Every structure is written in structure tokens, then in C-alpha cells.
């Protein structure tokens, strides 16, 4: 798969919360324009995402057809910040994470 972005055109206020809850990361807020993490790269996958309270995941929300978008530039990408309150932990990375087994303290 390829990471990409979502354009902010007509995005509803509830959409960031739906995305964050889908990721089990609490509530969300949307910001656009310059972002402290820098611009994204890759294709813009979605535009005109109009979620409502009846939707529980981004995939249920109406949007323009996949890969069809009218973003003028990267400044129209949406950036969603989740508040981090979750009942579990979910991590998304670009490559697999290798974890060492837990260490036992000497007895």
C-alpha cells in the first residue's frame, strides 16, 4: 500500500473524531495549512469527506470517488490530531517494529 493524504474540502467537523475513534485514539480535531510535522507526500486519496454522527468509520462516510480530488496544493491537506485517550494501544508505522521480550529483574 501507499500512504497518502485526504483533502480538507467540505470535511465535516465530526470527521476527525470518527477517524480518531476508529484508530482507538480518542477524540480528534482538524487543522489545515502548514503543520508542525511538515507536508505530507504521496497521492491525495480522498476529498469532500462528509461524515455524520451515524458513521463509525472513515470508510462509511460519503466522499468523492477514490483518488478523485480537487486540492489546489498541500496546504489543503487535512491534519487530524487525536487527544490520545483510548482504551487500548494501536500503533501504525511505515515498517514493522521488532520488540525484544521483556527482561526479568535478577532474583
Query: How do the pLDDT tens digits run along the chain, 107 residues long?
Result: 777 788 888 888 888 899 899 989 888 876 655 555 556 667 888 888 999 999 999 889 999 888 777 777 666 778 888 887 655 444 555 555 554 444 555 55
- Does the pTM of the predicted model rise above 0.75? no
Residue of 30, 13, 37, 36 lying closest to 76 (CA atoms):
30
DSSP the chain: ----EEB-TT--TTHHHHHHHHTT---EEEEESS-TT----S-EEE-S----TT--SGGGS--SPTT-----SGGGBEEEEE----SS-----SS----PPPPPPP-
Q: Please tell us whether the domain made up of 5-82 is placed in CATH 3.40.1280.10.
A: no
The domain limits of the chain are: 5-82
Amino acid at each position: 500500500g501507499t500512504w497518502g493524504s485526504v483533502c480538507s474540502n467540505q470535511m465535516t467537523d465530526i470527521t476527525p473524531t470518527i477517524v480518531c475513534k476508529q484508530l482507538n485514539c480518542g477524540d480528534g480535531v482538524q487543522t489545515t495549512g502548514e503543520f508542525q510535522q511538515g507536508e505530507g507526500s504521496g497521492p491525495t486519496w480522498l476529498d469532500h469527506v462528509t461524515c455524520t454522527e451515524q458513521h463509525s468509520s472513515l470508510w462509511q462516510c460519503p466522499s468523492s470517488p477514490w483518488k478523485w480530488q480537487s486540492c489546489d496544493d498541500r496546504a489543503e491537506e487535512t491534519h487530524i490530531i487525536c487527544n490520545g485517550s483510548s482504551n487500548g494501544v494501536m500503533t501504525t508505522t511505515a515498517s514493522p517494529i521488532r520488540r525484544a521480550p521483556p527482561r526479568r529483574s535478577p532474583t
